[in-house]
Amino acid sequence: MRLETRKYLDDMQRSAGLLAEFTSGKSFEDYEHDYMLQAAVERQFEIIGEAMSRLARIDEAVASRISHHQRIIAFRNFLIHGYGDVDDRLVWDVVERSLPIFMTELAALLNDHDATPQM
């Protein structure tokens, strides 16, 4: 695995971990009324989407091992360019339904990398 590939996976794993930390014990109602939490969550999704975009450009084979990697990039673009139309319910749904799967896939990719002898 290329050094840049590892860096982007690490960046995504860090942001995903922060998302899990920020939202732990929170409900949608908490999220809906906490503008600082919304900003923090959206920022981490933006970082994940940007890292995924860069990863896809340099290592499509690795990026394609993450479910819906193109949708992750599109979500980042929507958050940045469509900021006025962001639906809090949609963002929260991604936190609850997609984030755990994403974190599992990232961990598997990184474990594969760590288990592979480096040359």
Q: pLDDT digits over 32-73, tens only?
A: 999 999 999 999 999 999 999 999 999 999 999 999 999 999
Give pTM, 2 decimals: 0.91
Mean per-residue pLDDT, 66-90 = 94
Confidence class for position 2, pLDDT limits 50, 70, 90: confident
- Residue 20 in contact with residue 45, Cβ under 8 Å? no
Full set of structural domains in the chain with CATH: 3-113 (1.20.120)
Tokens at 22, concatenated: 């920020």
